[in-house]
Amino acid sequence: MGWNVISPLFLGKIPAGIHALRQAEGPPKVYVFRNWQGAVSIAAAGEHVIQAFGSVAALSHYFGGHMTFGRLVSSNKFLGVWGNRNASRFRRILHTRLGELEIIHAKPPSRHAGSSLTGRRLTAAERRDLERTFAGNT
């Protein structure tokens, strides 16, 4: 499955050098599952999440927390969030920044290593402002 970029505007949203990587590996895998409390959750490889959000701190700030799967120093690290709306926003931002995604309805292949909460949810206006910084993160 090749990557067809329809618009040069869309091309600007994909980090340089990622096209060849995608063709070799396929689209990023996104895991959708229910966590230990029954909440809809979503996770993706840490490198893809950081490409889309800029940093783990930005991810956590945007969603009010995040989950980590796998060892922190491992290349098998996955980052994600929980909740229906958060899962939808997470998937939308990844899709906007990285293009096509492969959705897998299962837990990530690494064990849950921890969760963090910032204790504050952003307003809709704050989320829009932060999303603009993600869009400029190429």
Domain-located, residue 24: no
pLDDT score of 32: 96
Domain-located, residue 65: yes
- Specify the number of domains making up the chain: 1
Domain-located, residue 5: no
Structural domain boundaries, residue 98: 34-135
Kindly state the average pLDDT of the residues 36-50. 92
Joined tokens for residue 138: 């190429």
Domain-located, residue 7: no
pLDDT score of 7: 33
Domain-located, residue 44: yes
Q: Sorting pLDDT into bands at 50, 70 and 90, what band is 122?
A: confident
Whether 33 has a pLDDT exceeding 60, the answer reads yes
pLDDT score of 40: 95
Whether 91 has a pLDDT exceeding 80, the answer reads yes
Rounded Cα gap, residues 134 and 8, in angstroms: 18
pTM, rounded to two decimals: 0.74
